[in-house]
């Protein structure tokens, strides 16, 4: 809107800010700055100058990537397929396990003495990184893809159980009541009243975790849990820049393709 010149002298004053609000704002910023300053030394941020002083090294290193070497492409492709297979199995097992765990950790289905312990167990599954689980399973079941599958399985179960239970807690309780009123059992209330309501969300969450697991699976090989990570790790260790570049390209393309496909699938179910 067009403002006419010389607005009349204001008859209202701008109210002063509440001092508690301002104090709180300064406190939040102060804490943030303090935390970062505290970590400055330990995190070796002062070495950022090396990015400039060692720029020549970096350039030489980067130039190695400019000519990717696809001589072993067949091998890379079979490894990336294996990586996707690990992710698929890890996710599938996790989905199966997350259904009961997710329902048992929903506060509108299970009593507190069930959902509290189940939730804490799921917290533990989530808190430990896939890579750590992979190391543990390499010790337990030996080197190879199966350790990777198990690592993804456990970690993803923790995540999906939480997501699933959040969906269950948001359902409309009325259809469930309608089913209860017919004399159905508790299990039947879940099968007919809860699952149909949450299924689209569950499928969407599962597909999203499959995408994430493909990404995670590309590094599982670093600790000997199978997949393309193992090849990647060896070529980085051996300073084979051209091969490393080729591997990274294969990984990026695969992850992109998987993301695109699963996004389209998710759109279908929602």
Applying CB under 8 A, the residues found at the interface with other proteins are 174-175, 177-185, 187-188, 191-193, 196-197, 199-200
Q: Please, which residue, 180 or 215, has the CB nearer to other proteins? A: 180
Supply the minimum distance, in Å, between the C-beta of residue 191 and other proteins: 6
Is the Cα torsion angle 160, 163, 165, 171 positive or negative in sign? negative
Give the whole-angstrom CA distance, residue 168 versus residue 107: 9
Supply the minimum distance, in Å, between the C-beta of residue 172 and other proteins: 8
Listing DSSP states for the chain in one string gives: -PPPSSPPPPSSPPPPPPHHHHHHHHHHHHHHHHHHHHHHTTTTGGGGGHHHHTHHHHHHHHHHHTS---TTHHHHHHHHHHHHHHHHHHHHHHHHHHHHHHHHT-TTTS-HHHHHHHHHHHHHHHHS-HHHHHHHHHHHH-SSHHHHHHHHHHHHHHHHHHHHHHHHHTS-HHHHHHHHTTT--HHHIIIIIIHHHHHHHHHHHHHHHHHHHHHHHHHHGGGTSSSHHHHHHHHHHTT-HHHHHHHHHHHHHHHHHHHHHHHHHHHHH-
Q: Please, which residue, 11 or 182, has the CB nearer to other proteins? A: 182
Supply the minimum distance, in Å, between the C-beta of residue 171 and other proteins: 10
Supply the minimum distance, in Å, between the C-beta of residue 180 and other proteins: 7
Q: Please, which residue, 139 or 268, has the CB nearer to other proteins? A: 268
Q: Please, which residue, 131 or 179, has the CB nearer to other proteins? A: 179
Supply the minimum distance, in Å, between the C-beta of residue 181 and other proteins: 4
Span between the terminal Cα atoms of the chain, in Å: 42
Q: Please, which residue, 6 or 182, has the CB nearer to other proteins? A: 182
Supply the minimum distance, in Å, between the C-beta of residue 194 and other proteins: 9
Q: Please, which residue, 99 or 242, has the CB nearer to other proteins? A: 99
Supply the minimum distance, in Å, between the C-beta of residue 23 and other proteins: 45
Q: Please, which residue, 117 or 196, has the CB nearer to other proteins? A: 196
């Amino acid at each position: 809107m067009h403002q006419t010149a010389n607005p009349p002298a204001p008859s209202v004053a701008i109210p002063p800010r509440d001092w508690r609000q301002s104090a709180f704002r300064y406190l939040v910023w102060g804490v943030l700055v303090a935390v970062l300053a505290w970590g400055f030394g330990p995190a070796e941020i002062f070495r950022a100058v090396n990015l400039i002083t060692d720029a020549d090294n970096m350039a030489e290193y980067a130039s190695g990537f400019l000519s990717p070497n696809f001589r072993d492409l067949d091998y890379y492709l079979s490894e990336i397929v294996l990586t996707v297979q690990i992710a698929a199995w890890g996710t599938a097992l996790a989905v199966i396990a997350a259904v009961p765990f997710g329902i048992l950790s929903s506060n509108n289905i299970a009593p507190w003495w069930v959902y509290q312990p189940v939730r804490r167990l799921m917290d533990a599954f989530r808190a430990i990184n896939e890579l750590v689980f992979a190391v543990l399973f390499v010790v337990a079941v030996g080197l190879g893809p199966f350790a990777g599958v198990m690592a993804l399985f456990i970690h993803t179960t923790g995540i999906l159980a939480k997501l699933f239970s959040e969906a269950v807690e948001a359902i409309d309780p009325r259809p469930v009541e309608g089913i209860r009123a017919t004399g159905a059992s508790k299990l039947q209330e879940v099968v007919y009243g809860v699952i149909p309501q949450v299924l689209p969300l569950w499928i969407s969450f599962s597909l999203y975790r499959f995408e994430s697991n493909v990404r995670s699976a590309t590094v599982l090989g670093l600790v000997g849990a199978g997949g393309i990570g193992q090849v990647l790790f060896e070529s980085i260790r051996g300073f084979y820049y051209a091969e490393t570049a080729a591997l990274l390209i294969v990984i990026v393309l695969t992850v992109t393709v998987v993301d695109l496909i699963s996004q389209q699938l998710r759109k279908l179910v929602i």
